[in-house]
Amino acid sequence: MAGRIQAFMMQLDANLPEDVRESIGQAFRELLCNAVEWGGKLDPTRHVRISCLRAKRMLLYRIADPGEGFDIERLSHAAISNPEGDPLQHHLVREEKGLRPGGLGLAITRTLVDELIYNEARNEVVFVKYLDG
């Protein structure tokens, strides 16, 4: 699977500035890992679908997982749910729930892409990165 993903990314990386490649690659990895871990439950028989569209002025990626989705209001273990002024609150929640360190993926991704759009169930995400020129 890793080889197919790498080939997929390399096709889109051609002729892009390094900073754009890095932003897109990091966002893609974060969202794909979430889809595999949370939506696919790390089960190799559950498939995550990815697709992309490259136009002259933008890149669009779609990642869909087989999970039931999530309620953003119930993501106390993720950094996007931290109260203002307490950027590490999610670490305590993760510790209490016995989860591995992390929870930064969605917060990081929001800073790397121009648009992040979920379907209603939140088991499918589209992200867009606009290209200058």
Residue 80 lies in a domain: no
Residue 86 lies in a domain: no
Q: Which two tokens stand for residue 82?
A: 């931290």
pLDDT of residue 92: 82
pLDDT of residue 14: 65
Residue 47 lies in a domain: yes
Domain count for the chain, please give it: 1
CATH number for the domain that contains residue 40: 3.30.565.10
The torsion angles phi and psi of 16, rounded to 5 degrees, stand at -110, 145
Question: Is the confidence at residue 90, as pLDDT, over 90?
Answer: no
Name the nearest CA neighbour of 33 among 50, 10, 45: 50
Residue 19 lies in a domain: yes
Residue 85 lies in a domain: no
Helix (H) or strand (E) holding 121: none
Which domain range does residue 126 map to? Answer: 2-67+104-130
pTM over 0.85: no
Half-sphere exposure of 33 (CA within 13 A, CB side): 12
Give the confidence band of 96 by pLDDT, cuts at 50, 70, 90. Answer: confident
Taking only the tens place, the pLDDT of each residue in 8-52 is 666 666 678 888 889 999 999 999 999 999 999 999 999 999 999
